[in-house]
Structure formats: C-alpha cells, structure tokens
Amino acid sequence: MADRRTFLKGSLLATMAMGAAQAQTETGSGVPSPDQWISIIDLDRCDGCQNRAVPACVAACREKNQTRFPEPEKPLKPYWPQRTFEDFSNQRDRIDRLTPYNWIYVEKVSLSDGKTVYAPRRCMHCFDAPCRKICPFGAIDRSEQGAVQIDPDVCFGGAKCRDVCPWQVPQRQAGVGLYLDVAPKFAGGGIMYKCDFCASSLKEGEMPACSSHCPKKAMMFLPLSKAMDKLREIAVGRYVYGLNENGGTATWYVSSVPFETIQEAILKTKKKGVNDGRADFSAIKPKLEESENWAMATLAAPVVALGVAYLVARRRKNQDQAGDRQ
C-alpha cells in the first residue's frame, strides 16, 4: 500500500507540473482569441443609478450569481501562519466594494471641480492575466471569449492571485474550499471570488447581466473587432483606460475626464497599502515577465505538496466508493 501511495503522489505531481507548464505556454503570448469579447464602459453615461437603492448592474450581478456565493462552515478558525481570516459572510449586503458576495460595485468619485464621476468596477479580464499564471493549482482559466474565471472546486484560497493583480480584485472568503479537507489549521484560507465576465452567457452569445440591465446603456459588450470600431467612434476627444494597461485588458473605460484626475480623487479616499476592495485607475505597466518569474517560484513552493495530498485523498476516496458499489 505504501508503494502504491508513493506511485500515486509521484504521478500526480508530474501531472500537475506538466499542466502548469502547459498553462505557462498558453498564456505567454497574451494574444486574444478570435472569439474575444470586450466590455466598454462609458463613464459619461453612468449616473450610478442614483434613483435606485442598488445600482442596476450590481443588483443584476448579485441576482445572477447568488447561488454561487460562499456558505462558510462555522465557527471559522485562523489558519497558520495567519492569525486572522477573511470573512464577509456577515456583510453580504455590502455594495461599496468588491467582496465574495459582490463582484461589481460603482465607485462614486468626487472631483475637485465639484463634478462627480460614477465608475462601475470589477475584474478587468486581462489578456495575459498574471493571476492565471501564478496560481499553483491551475484554478484560474480564460475562456475563448476572454473570461478570466476562478474554479471554486480547485481554488485553495492562497490569495496569490490578488497579490499579483494590479487592481487587487479577487476577494477571499474563509470557511469554504479545499483547504478544509487538506489542512484547515495549516494553510490555504478559503476560496477567491470575482467577476467571471458572465462566461456562460458570453459562450451562448448572450449579454452579461450587468450590461443587459444598465438603464443608461453605459456598459457595452462587443466582439473584439466591433469593439475597436466602437471605440474609434465614441472615444474621439475623450480618454481611454484599460486598452493597454497591464498588457491589455478586455475592459475599456471611456471618459471625458482624464483618468489621472479620477485617480487623484480616488487616492484621497484610500489608505495606502490597504486592500479595501476598491480598484483604482492607476497607470499599470505590463508585469508579465515579472509574473512569470513569480509563477515559476510558486510552482516550486511546498504548497504544491498540499495539492498533491488532496488529489491523492480524493482519488482514494473515489476508489473506495467505487469498490463499495461493486
């Protein structure tokens, strides 16, 4: 039996390494697929749905994804080496930031000239997403339509995706996920959650919930070729954000107010070095080569062994259940 376990561990470790190497190769170019979709968000159109208790895009996203929100096992306990845990389960109605229960929010930005800008914020869906590269378990993938999505059945909650994300988008909920089965007191931390670009809708050629429910038509989803034409049409004399940031993203913002001005106003309301679940509009240069180095270092980390342990345990459980049925 010991030899059999050793064989399984070795085989699974090799499989994981091969899969990670393949993911590195696939994402290395950062070239969008022919089926890539783009969201264009017009900040001059968005009014934050001031006549509603909850902005329409936020409400639509929450309604569509509520069955996928985490239900943590309680009581929650800290996990080594952390002394705390991230728990938003008692803040499910919070809409002023990104949380595991709120995948899009509307940032109200008060400018120095007295004007107000409303900016819907969620995952940018980078063409060459660093979060996808750095995940040691391959929990993050990108669809043909460009949806960068986290698989909750594979995510270990290590939050490296958030660390490498220029906008620190993914948010963690403790008390759910693989770490509970592997080492609940030792590592992990839950599952990371974020907008998935309504991947299932785009795959079927349908509009994502946030866009289809926007009363001001401030959020558009278009195939890449049509999006470029639309951008040329509406961006004349205005400013664009997201087209080149971090090597290119699938979320393009258009505004008559310079994004440097919007960023300056946002920074006045944020504490430096604190992840408050609010993305800003900083000028993000590509960190693709750096993220590749991080990814390789992650693959060599001891945490991989925990993933192997889980896979071995799951396989043995499935085999035992199959034997019981025979």
Give me the DSSP letters along 218-255.
-EEEEEHHHHHHHHHHH-TTSEEESSSGGG-BSEEEEE
User: What is the average pLDDT across 171-193?
Assistant: 85
Contact 170, 161 (CB under 8 A): yes
Longest dimension (CA), the chain: 75
Average pLDDT of the chain, as a whole number:
84
pTM of the model: 0.83
> 30 and 128 in contact (C-beta within 8 Å)?
yes
pLDDT tens-digit map of 188-207: 689 999 999 999 999 998 99
Cα dihedral angle (24, 179, 157, 154), rounded to 10 degrees?
A: 40
pLDDT value of position 70? 97
The amino acid present at 279, given as its one-letter code, is A
The pLDDT-based confidence of 307 (bands split at 50, 70, 90) is low
Task: Tell me which of 138 and 121 has the higher pLDDT.
Answer: 121
Please determine, looking at this structure, whether the domain spanning 37-312 carries the CATH number 3.30.9.10. no
> Is the bond leading into 81 cis (omega within 30 degrees of zero)?
yes
Q: What are the counts of helices (DSSP H) followed by strands (DSSP E) for the chain?
A: 11, 10
The model's confidence at residue 289, banded by pLDDT at 50, 70 and 90, is low
Does pLDDT of 322 surpass 90?
A: no
Between CA 176 and CA 155 the distance in angstroms is 10
Q: Enumerate the domain spans of the chain.
A: 37-312
Mean pLDDT, residues 273-286: 88
